[in-house]
Structure 1
Amino acid sequence: MRTTVSQNGILTGSIPRQLLLFFLPIWFGTLFQQLYNTVDTLIVGNFVGTQALAAVGATGAFVQLLVGVFVGLCSGAGVIISQSFGAGDPDQVDRQVHTALALALAGGAVLTVLGLATSRLVLELMRTPDEIIDMATLYLRIYFLGMIPQIVYNMGTNILRAVGDSKRPLYFLIIASLVNIVLDILLVAVVPWGVAGAAIATVVSQVVSMVLTLRCLSGSDGMPWNLHDGHIRMEPEVLQDICRIGLPGAAQSALYSISNMIIQSAVNGFGTTAVAAWSVYGKIDFLFWMTVSSFGIAVTTFTGQNFGARLYDRVRRGTRVCLAMTAGTTLAISLILYPLAAFLFRLFSDDEAVIAQGVQMMHFLVPAYMTYICIEILSGALRGCGDVKVPTIITVFGVCGLRVLWLIVALPRWHDVTAVEFSYPLTWTVASLLFVVYYLKGGWMKRCIAAKEGSTAEA
């Protein structure tokens, strides 16, 4: 994308069209990103076995915990860049881009050290079954070697999306995913390296996506930055702005992941079959998650740029349109996934016990998808305008806290996987209601405007 701010369709074009044009590349990009892990799961499940399948699946919650913290900071950088771009301030965008990349490099290094040092201990704390813990540890330790490229790629993607370019990140992910698929087949199906081969394939594909993204950022003629290695450093004022928006999101992501680790631990207590079924369900379930999160990213950029340009009524109209689009898409996904549950599980495993357990999970949770969408879209819109504190509080207590409380109370009395599953629709419904009430009250907009005007005056 090489348009000027005055030609920016996000600020002037049809709202449904602009949201859809931005959503689709993000959706396809997220689809190919998910192929990293889904291809791992498919090939490992079919060529290595149920224990290896469970081992790869058991690592997901811990990875999400560590990576999610820095992805939250990446989204914070995206918000402030989108606001500066919408306000037509290229000098500020340039400073923000260089600081964001410096933060990504430092964050990736920290994650590498933490992941390598704590993988085995965390898996033990999560009650990972003995028969899969060695494989799961090996997978994690190799996977964490790719943290720097993964975080740099995520930051670069947020930078490009913040200025309305959602297409090139898609192209990079397609290439990286194809690399991942080829290496998975080679290192797992042909060369029998098992979970180690799957992890190596993922790391190499992440390096490819990082290299492509950095080349794009350094050669982006017409963009409001001039990328130089010598300028990549953390400017305290910019870093403070990134953290102001990103840290609440990072904390939210971390607590989400901790609650999911607790859920994974609860599932682990039901044995390898339940772990394998939950792992496969997560791959199928991701069709919903990548769709709703793509709409969330789209509305965050849309509201961020329009808020920066002081088009406040357009912010509200865009949020309403995005909610309607997300609801319609979610209904369609639910109607597709529910009847295809058994067929989809057979793509990943021929273990009848795993298939039966997985079908039960899908039939319980798929009808509850509609209860989640207000959390994603309203929090995305609020975040784009710079309101992060209250949405974080709602998510932390309405989703994470309540989920853990439910498990503490329910599992001793109702020792069944269904008790774990019920924590999702319960917490989604409560948090969605809280978001709707907070958004409709409207006071958040006045506070965001006042904060924006205050920071502009100081600058």
Structure 2
Amino acid sequence: MNANMPIFNEKNLYKHFIIFLIPLIVTSILQNLSNTINLILIGRMLEPEFIAIVAIFFPILLLLLTFIIGISTGTSILVSQAWSSGNTEKLNKIMGASIFTILISSIFIVFFGFIFSKNIITFLGVQEKILDNSILYLKYMLLHCPLLFINIIYTSFLRSIGDSKTPLIFIILTTTLNIITTTLLLTGFWVIPKLGFIAPAISLITTHLIVLIFLAIYLNNINHPLKITVKLLKSIRFDRSLNKVILRLGIPTSIQMLTSSISGLIILSLVNGFGINATTAYIIVYQIISYIQFPVFSISVAASIFTAQAVGTGKFDILEKIKKISLNINIIITGALLITLYTFSKNILTLFIDSPEINDIAQPLLYIALWSILFFGAGMIFSAIMRACGTVFIPMIINIFSVVCIEISCAYWFSSIWSLNGIWIAISFSSLCFFIFQVIYYNFFWKKLKIKALI
């Protein structure tokens, strides 16, 4: 892998896209698998209420990740363009400025997360009997965030230069270690005591620390282009010009994620009003759907990286081809997953918790929600391509409008008519609108704009 070498070949673009995408999808699935297995272990080994305690952190984590993933998104675009254009000096500066921002952000997030942990849990409308344990679990999970954030930003560097295999290797290691340590901490082994519901949090802290150490050693041993060097370490500082561009690209993504996260918290608070069984059913459906959403996100990430590298090399004429390939793959992969989940929904739900009462609540929710993910994925692809070319504001506005003006308002309205089912109807309707608005802007406005490299 050499600088000035984009990850695609114009004659075999479809092939190169799939080769890059497959490890990306597997990585995304394995990332989610760790959370899912934790839920299954908790559901099987502890009381059902502990699933609600552990699952409460998912939307909170998404909220905390908003700025981090925004920075990662902005950085990925610049890294892709710098790599494909052969500008290795600029590449190190971009990475250094990003790492600096992530480190400072991690400190603030953990600090303020601890201070306002009780306020966050109370806002979610968590029932009194699990309130104290939910606050305790949140604090433990916050401690693993800095390690997670560094992992996120560095694996995004690797993907941006076309290396989707190394992140896959280390997510396999992460998932394996996490499953082993969570199981040991739940059951107790030799000198290891039973830690109950906080076991997943302690497991994640231990796992991410070990994996980051191994990642640094591995990259240096194989002489990877992005290995940790003295030059890179010296580049970890604030760079006004680079941080300005990173923030210009990243903040809109962060705002989108923040809007979605706040929406998730509001929706979860609404769901909590229907009782613990409804909350548990909602979280299980959320976890299952994420297995489709993560491949969808992977396709949009691949589309963004291919687009950014095409822009970096000045090959603007293949952007439309990248879009068509991405949409076709979304139909094939997402469509296949939807058919599978519709067919085996009852069996899949039983994997999470052996409670007919909860599964009877969850199955209709799953049926309502699944179809819209196909349209959500297509909308994400249009947004990713525009963002990789530097257009971030209008796609952000479309996302915010879909979430705030459609999803939240309709969730309250529809839930008053169709109860818990109405919440998922609102979410599905919002995804469809998101797709329609992105397509209209892309075809009738964005395609008329002039595209140029950002560095």
For normalisation by structure 1, the TM-score amounts to 0.93
The aligned counterpart of 1:377 is 381
Q: 1:58–1:275: 8 Å Cα contact kept in structure 2? A: no
**How far 1:214 sits from its partner (Å)?**
3.7
Q: 2:83 pairs with 71, 85, 90, which one?
A: 85
Superposed CA RMSD? 1.9
**How far 1:113 sits from its partner (Å)?**
1.2
C-alpha separation between the residues in 1 aligned to 2:92 and 2:332? 38
AA aligned to 1:189 is: T
AA aligned to 2:238 is: M
The aligned counterpart of 1:421 is 424
Equivalent residue runs for 1:219-234 within 5 Å: 221=223, 223=225, 227-228=229-230, 229-234=233-238
Q: 1:109–1:147: 8 Å Cα contact kept in structure 2? A: no
The aligned counterpart of 1:172 is 170
AA aligned to 2:213 is: V
**How far 1:220 sits from its partner (Å)?**
6.8
Q: 2:216–2:227: 8 Å Cα contact kept in structure 1? A: no
AA aligned to 2:366 is: M
The aligned counterpart of 2:302 is 298
C-alpha separation between the residues in 1 aligned to 2:392 and 2:204? 32
The aligned counterpart of 1:354 is 358
C-alpha separation between the residues in 1 aligned to 2:237 and 2:88? 18
Q: 1:346–1:355: 8 Å Cα contact kept in structure 2? A: yes
**How far 1:9 sits from its partner (Å)?**
3.6
Q: 2:92–2:235: 8 Å Cα contact kept in structure 1? A: no
SS of the residue aligned with 1:31?
Answer: helix
C-alpha separation between the residues in 1 aligned to 2:226 and 2:199? 41
The aligned counterpart of 2:267 is 263
SS of the residue aligned with 2:417?
Answer: coil
Equivalent residue runs for 1:34-113 within 5 Å: 34-113=32-111
Q: 2:205 pairs with 197, 203, 206, which one?
A: 203
Q: 1:245 pairs with 246, 249, 254, which one?
A: 249
The aligned counterpart of 1:127 is 125
SS of the residue aligned with 1:270?
Answer: coil
Consecutive unaligned residues in structure 2, runs of 5 or more: none
**How far 1:368 sits from its partner (Å)?**
2.5
Change (3 A) 1:115 1:13: farther
C-alpha separation between the residues in 2 aligned to 1:214 and 1:400? 41
For normalisation by structure 2, the TM-score amounts to 0.94
C-alpha separation between the residues in 1 aligned to 2:28 and 2:238? 29
Bigger mean CA offset, 258-267 vs 228-237 = 228-237
Q: 1:398–1:431: 8 Å Cα contact kept in structure 2? A: yes
Q: 1:443 pairs with 443, 446, 453, which one?
A: 446
**How far 1:116 sits from its partner (Å)?**
1.6
AA aligned to 1:44 is: I
C-alpha separation between the residues in 1 aligned to 2:208 and 2:226? 26
Identical positions, percent: 21
**How far 1:181 sits from its partner (Å)?**
0.4
AA aligned to 1:29 is: T
Q: 1:59–1:140: 8 Å Cα contact kept in structure 2? A: yes
Change (3 A) 1:153 1:323: same
C-alpha separation between the residues in 2 aligned to 1:123 and 1:345? 27
**How far 1:425 sits from its partner (Å)?**
1.5
The aligned counterpart of 1:339 is 343
C-alpha separation between the residues in 2 aligned to 1:224 and 1:173? 18
How many matched pairs?
449
Consecutive unaligned residues in structure 1, runs of 5 or more: none
C-alpha separation between the residues in 2 aligned to 1:224 and 1:154? 15
Q: 2:21–2:299: 8 Å Cα contact kept in structure 1? A: yes
The aligned counterpart of 1:212 is 214
Q: 1:17 pairs with 15, 18, 25, which one?
A: 15
AA aligned to 1:45 is: G
1:19-65, Cα deviation, whole Å (9 max, x unpaired): 11111111111122112211210100100121001111122111111
Q: 1:87–1:309: 8 Å Cα contact kept in structure 2? A: yes
